[in-house]
Amino acid sequence: MAQTIFEQYLENEILHADPVKLVTILYRAATEAVGAARGHLAAGEIRERSRKITKAWEILTQLTLTLDHQKGGEISRRLAELYAYMQARLLQANAAQIDPPLAEVETLLGTLTDAWRSVPPLATAASPAEPPAGAEYVPVSCSF
């Protein structure tokens, strides 16, 4: 059960999100984890750096597991390869304690996030395709 208002908001956002929005939420969380790992690396905080890299790696694993290779075809295959590449770069950054692989993964995640944000939301009976007039999407932070 969510404890804070932030956790309640995030839980509500996830529970009511369509699949496209869920992917962007995961990208946002992975990007924030990589950014935090970079900060911990710069500060010499080994345990926290490793924890954030592991979080990003696990998010990429979940994204890989959700790919539908039958429906997605070539795109899903290429995404799987890109996710594997990013995971390898995360492991390299963690083992060598260097920033360039983290910076690269952060950039790649940003590019993917931008691409997925351009995909129109899926319309369902519970959620209309168009937001109500005057509604504005305000992203939340996924870091804890």
| Residues constituting the chain | 144
* Domain segments of the chain as ranges: 18-116
d(CA 36, CA 139): 17
CATH H superfamily, domain 18-116: Flagellar protein FliS (1.20.120.340)
pTM of the model: 0.77
Q: pLDDT, tens digit, for every residue of 60-115?
A: 999 999 999 999 999 999 999 999 999 999 999 999 999 999 999 999 999 999 99
Q: What is the pLDDT of residue 133?
A: 57
DSSP letters along 86-128, please?
A: HHHHHHHHHHHT-SHHHHHHHHHHHHHHHHHHTSPPPP-SSS-
